[in-house]
Structure 1
Amino acid sequence: MRRRSPPRRRRAGEEEDAHPSPDRLSALPDALLRRVMSSHKAWEVVRTCVLSRRWRHLWASAPCVDLRLRPGCPDGDTTPEEFARFARSLFRRRDASAPVDTLRLRSSDVDGAFDEDDAKSWIRTAVKRRARVIHLIGHRDGLAALEHAAFVSRHLRILKLSYARLDDNLLTQLSSRCPSLEEMDLKDCLISGSEISSSSLKTLAMVKCNMFWGLTITAPNLVLLRCVKPIGQAPSFNNLGSIVAGTIILDDYCFSDDFEDFSKDGLDETTDDDSDDGNKWRPKTGAGYGFGLPQKRHRPSGYKDAIDYGSDIESDDNQANTYEYSEIASDFDGSGYNDVGHSSTKDGNLWAHGENSGCSDSKISGGHNIIHSLSNATSLELLADAGEVILTRELKSCPSFSNLKTLCLGEWSMAADFDRLLLFLQCSPNLEKLFLELKLSFNVRKAMELGVKPNGRSFACKHLRMVKIKCSKDDVRVHKLARLFKANGVSVEKIFVRRTGSTYLRGKKTMKDLARHELEFWGDKFWGDG
């Protein structure tokens, strides 16, 4: 009989051998593991094959292939050296029966890891593998040129393009040869085609897209629309009868001949890691919305003002700045206004209509039917600077917004004794929530003094339960608005005010910053030339 050896005695301080913990991650279902893989870059997913036998072939059927390289900033030592060769091998070795549900890539790599022909080949392969989602990112200095034939697919459902060129051929293919296309997201694109016409499209986003040639959109089943700061021209719309929510943000400066997009200066391409969650259709109201000249131009770097203006200049996005109107009603006594309702000051009308970007009505085209097309919406945002041309032109024949429950209007609707605001309220009998963004010109000397005579200016919004006004601390129009609402049966308990910093002080600081910036610039130039 074999003698059993005695158990080994543990040395002092030596811990008892622990049982190996079970691999709970590998115990998860294949479908869930593939979903986890979809949140990683393709080369990271492939490397999971060495974890265990369980993981050896999972990568070959991962539903998402993410080939995005950050321009000029490779992902450390993890990126394959011969990237194009890696990508070709990846598609070749994938499970032939597994569809490429999602493809994310750039049109080319600035460091030469792959070129545009490689990217086009990968798109064709993904479309053949029944891709439902394609997210392509070009470059600011070299827009992606797309092969229209590559996008012919009955499976394609979501198309996201950034820094890409869309001509008539491509738009025709997307409109007529992609019967399942439901969502199109375009950012910083050059749209040289004349029409987007699709009966399947349900959501459409166009952010800072160049449309100098004009564009008409026909989408009878469109539910969600977001058009932010179009450049050159605003799109025109036909047959949006199913629309539920719409956001239109316009800046006349983008339609001028000398427009230059300063917001891109010194910034990485923001579309590289776009959020794919469901909140993208609820952007922060007014986010990325510039009034007139881009804000960046008025914020020179390298200079810190010696005067600390504190919170009277900058705004805080916290609850402390939001008040019930009754809390601030005593800040205004109504003096300085005559019975007619106009300011008794000499310069009251100097800035009563705000400040636009210098574009005249004759120079701005497009945007036809932009308001009428949204008449069936339940939620609507129309944001623009004072003096905006297109919305003012289209509002001359205001439709009835019988379904409208939530409305957000910008500074453009505040001019002329709030006539445009009143017109919207008169045409929106079922309105429940109203958001108003008041924006004074940054260089005014004091708050705008504009009286409002409520008599004869009536509206009936019996379901209106909240009015929220965002304005600067020194904008007295908020009190005139409160008076107007109160005269039409809206109690002050339903009116809330979110105050931002003082326009007057912010304007003074801006002018000081600009003056100091000019001195520094010309001083450096003088000493440099010397």
Structure 2
Amino acid sequence: MSNKRMRPTVLEASTYDFISSLPDESLQHILCFMTTREAIQTCVLSTRWRHIWKSVQCLEIKASEFTSKMGFVNFMDNLVLRRGCVPLDSLRMYTLYQHGNVSLNHHNANMWVGYALRRNVRELHICEHYSEYFDLDHSSFISSHLKILRLRNVTISDLFIEKLFSGCPALQDLVMIDCCVYATRFSSTSLKNLTFISHSPDNGDSVHDDYKDLVIDTPSLVSLHLECLPFLAPCLVNVSSVAKAYIRLDDMSFPCFDTKYNILSGLSNVTKLKLLNEEYDDEDEDEDDSFRSRKNEVLKRDLRRCQSFNNLKKLSVDDWCVDVDLSALIYLLRCSPIIEKLTLHLGMIEGLAWEQWMSYPQEETPDLSFSCERLKKVKIICVQDDKRVPAIVIAILANANSLPEIVIKPSKHVWRKEEISA
């Protein structure tokens, strides 16, 4: 009789566990697509799967998978204990907005973060959507491997930021969204991407009770995103490497009209720039616009200090440079010889500003000449019958090297004609 191995029967082939026969690296890769709790649950499948989860280097902790805070804490404590010294690539801990009632915040939480840092974690996410801020201890942030740190609804002290940049010399990406940030100085030689956003209007009031400078001294920075930061005036120092900038200023950004800040003047090498004001709801219409006027004046004064934006290709601005006349906008275009796309977000200008625009003597109209040979598209988002639009279009058509595409879109707020002319 031949000793040649017989082919498996159809039944044997249909019941054979092909997945379990894969090498460990493949099984670990499969588990990376699961949350950590789901990955650990695979240990009951067979003895082959019992310890595979321990070698997974991407941990995703979803607090909403747990029905109680104690269950979540026990899970995390056991995870740290049983996983041991296996290196980590990423740790993501988060709660889902309005899903579940379990917060990440616990006195053991900083121990879990410290464990990840000791395991040479490269990417760390802490996203708390619960009603309380996550208290993050700075003492454990000593790592030569951490490159990406993303935080949401986390309390961040000035000491934490100072220790973070000194203790994590490889840090490249820092994201802070809806965080309670006490720090006002960000100084790092390694940081390449910085995002600082506050969607909650209470954040500024609860942290800063007076105007402060938000100093950003980051010579390696490539991308900058600042949004909705009341009482914080951006002061950009040594950021000439920034190529992409999105800045949405709050009305309460600057303490007075005479304030001088490096914003536009600090972004000389930017290729894509959005510099906008905070968006307003209908209930904001009757508010005193002196703060907006102050902000606009500060920006226009800063603009006049700029020499050129020789790399700028995409530009988005709003009323701060077209509130009374077009001089600031024209100056900005003169400084941007290779601009390809221009987007203007025009809101309502009311009171004295509107009267000045409507009564502007023709003979006093400033020089509107500029040269933008590569301008291909202009998008204007405005309210109905905005009298600034025709003047803008005429100036562009008179100076563009070739006919650009011009798109005029209505803004999300619809205004009656009598409101516009009031």
Aligned with 2:121: secondary structure? Answer: coil
Q: Distance in 2 between matches of 1:229 and 1:242?
A: 23
Cross-structure match for 2:163: 173
Q: Distance in 2 between matches of 1:501 and 1:142?
A: 33
Matched, 1:20 2:8: no
Cα offset, 1:19, TM superposition: 5.8
Cα offset, 1:381, TM superposition: 0.7
Alpha-carbon distance change, 27 to 18 in structure 1, aligned in 2, over 3 angstroms: closer
- Equivalent residue runs for 1:56-205 within 5 Å: 56-69=50-63, 74-75=64-65, 82-94=71-83, 96=85, 98-105=86-93, 115-138=105-128, 141-205=131-195
Q: Distance in 2 between matches of 1:481 and 1:248?
A: 23
Alpha-carbon distance change, 35 to 500 in structure 1, aligned in 2, over 3 angstroms: farther
Alpha-carbon distance change, 360 to 151 in structure 1, aligned in 2, over 3 angstroms: closer
Cross-structure match for 1:423: 331
Q: Distance in 2 between matches of 1:164 and 1:502?
A: 34
- Taking structure 1 as the reference length, the TM-score comes to 0.63
> Identity percentage over the alignment?
31
- Equivalent residue runs for 1:261-272 within 5 Å: none
Alpha carbons 2:69, 2:102 under 8 Å: kept: no
Cross-structure match for 1:472: 383
Cα distance per residue 1:370-405 (max 9 Å; x no partner): 112211111111111663344234223123101111
Cα offset, 1:462, TM superposition: 1.2
Q: Distance in 2 between matches of 1:429 and 1:35?
A: 49
Q: 1:409 aligns with which of 308, 311, 317?
A: 317
Aligned with 1:116: secondary structure? Answer: coil
Alpha carbons 1:154, 1:180 under 8 Å: kept: yes
The structure with higher relative contact order (CA 8 Å, sep 6+) is 1
Alpha-carbon distance change, 399 to 38 in structure 1, aligned in 2, over 3 angstroms: farther
Q: Which has the higher strand share?
A: 2
Cα offset, 1:244, TM superposition: 0.8
Structure number, greater radius of gyration: 1
- Taking structure 2 as the reference length, the TM-score comes to 0.78
The one-letter code sitting in structure 1 at the alignment partner of 2:406 is I
Alpha-carbon distance change, 396 to 151 in structure 1, aligned in 2, over 3 angstroms: same
Aligned with 1:83: secondary structure? Answer: helix
**Structure 2, unpaired ranges of 5+:** 1-9, 279-291
Q: 2:256 aligns with which of 361, 369, 377?
A: 361
Alpha-carbon distance change, 456 to 185 in structure 1, aligned in 2, over 3 angstroms: same
**Structure 1, unpaired ranges of 5+:** 1-15, 256-358, 509-530
Q: Distance in 2 between matches of 1:122 and 1:507?
A: 61
Alpha carbons 2:137, 2:160 under 8 Å: kept: yes
Cross-structure match for 1:463: 374
Aligned with 1:67: secondary structure? Answer: strand
Aligned with 1:408: secondary structure? Answer: strand
| Number of corresponding residues | 379
Alpha carbons 2:383, 2:415 under 8 Å: kept: no
Alpha-carbon distance change, 102 to 506 in structure 1, aligned in 2, over 3 angstroms: farther
Deviates further, 432-441 or 368-377: 432-441
Cα offset, 1:475, TM superposition: 2.6
Q: Distance in 2 between matches of 1:197 and 1:436?
A: 32
The one-letter code sitting in structure 1 at the alignment partner of 2:389 is V
Aligned with 1:234: secondary structure? Answer: strand
Matched, 1:240 2:239: yes
Q: Distance in 1 between matches of 2:110 and 2:83?
A: 18
Cα offset, 1:433, TM superposition: 1.4
Cα offset, 1:479, TM superposition: 2.1
Alpha carbons 1:202, 1:224 under 8 Å: kept: yes
Cα offset, 1:106, TM superposition: 5.5
Q: Distance in 1 between matches of 2:81 and 2:418?
A: 61
- Equivalent residue runs for 1:199-278 within 5 Å: 199-208=189-198, 210=204, 212=208, 213-252=212-251, 254-255=252-253
User: What is the root-mean-square deviation in Å for CA atoms of aligned residues?
Assistant: 3.6
The one-letter code sitting in structure 1 at the alignment partner of 2:393 is A
Q: Distance in 2 between matches of 1:26 and 1:452?
A: 82
Cα offset, 1:29, TM superposition: 5.9
Alpha carbons 1:442, 1:503 under 8 Å: kept: no
Cα offset, 1:89, TM superposition: 1.0
